[in-house]
Amino acid sequence: MEDGCRLSREYVVRCRCHEGGDMTVKRGQQKEKTRRLIIDAAFRLLSQERSYSSLSLREVTREAGIAPNSFYRHFEDMEELGLTLVDEGGVALRQLMRKARQRIRDEGSVISASVETFMEFINSSPQVFYLLLRERSGTSLAFRKAVSRELQYFIVELADYIQQTQGYPAADAKIQAEAMVILVFNAGADALDCKPAELKQLTDKAVTQLRYIARGADEFLKGRRSDDRRSGSRARR
């Protein structure tokens, strides 16, 4: 009888522990869901007319459908939320780079596939691009540093791809990658104001400009290698 009671008590304890674990998981899931609501709400409020610095906490929580006080369970302040948005923008850029690489493998044209993928990204996720574009030269030093860091990640990934496919030295690949990213970002800024009929012209123009950069880099490095060979030949005489 005592054994039976002990087993029953142990069963009840195990059940309660199991239920407690389930509750912890559910609370964690709910917290993550609310955090996601806040992030998505902030992105939705961004537009050509609204920069992140113009958003208020009450606006964001109202858009997310939560009480203002609930915000502080997920973020210390609006700056921390903004830095989280920048981080997500950086992740989106790196995912974009990988998508472009897959498209290059399928279609073969490096520059056309890259520009078209970038323009599609701007069209489907304009708020992410608004954030990166605006905060790159915004008033917040923390935001400027965060955007610069994310763009550097993007540049490094592009430079690595150039180095692998073209055989360029690392320093030269990075210079070319920086020039290409600046050009594409400027084209992206113009694309935000474009009508659909004008977008193809802008895309074609960006593709041509990038080809000039790529051809110029190739010719420059060929010339430098030729100069190095001539210098080496004279030194051996």
User: H helices within the chain, ranges in order?
Assistant: 2-45, 57-64, 78-107, 110-124, 126-135, 141-166, 170-191, 196-236
Q: Which of 132, 39, 141 is nearest to 89 (CA)?
A: 132
The correct answer on CATH 1.10.357.10 for the domain covering 77-237 is yes
Domain boundaries, the chain: 1-75, 77-237
For domain 1-75, give the fold: Arc Repressor Mutant, subunit A (1.10.10)
Task: Specify the pLDDT at position 207.
Answer: 93
Per-residue pLDDT reduced to its tens digit, 51-87 = 898 999 999 999 999 999 999 999 999 999 999 999 9
pLDDT at 232: 64
pLDDT of residue 1: 52
Q: Helix (H, G, I), strand (E, B), or coil: what is residue 203?
A: helix
The pLDDT value recorded for residue 233 is 58
110-123 pLDDT, tens per residue? 788 888 888 888 88
Cβ-in-10-Å burial (0-12, 13-18, 19+) of 100 comes to buried
- Burial of 147 per CB tally in 10 Å (0-12, 13-18, 19+): buried
d(CA 191, CA 20): 52
Confidence (pLDDT) at 57: 96
What pLDDT is attached to residue 28? 75
Regarding pTM above 0.85, the answer is no
- Report, as ranges of residue numbers, the positions in the chain whose pLDDT lies below 50: 7
Residues 201 and 206: their CA atoms lie apart, in Å, by 9
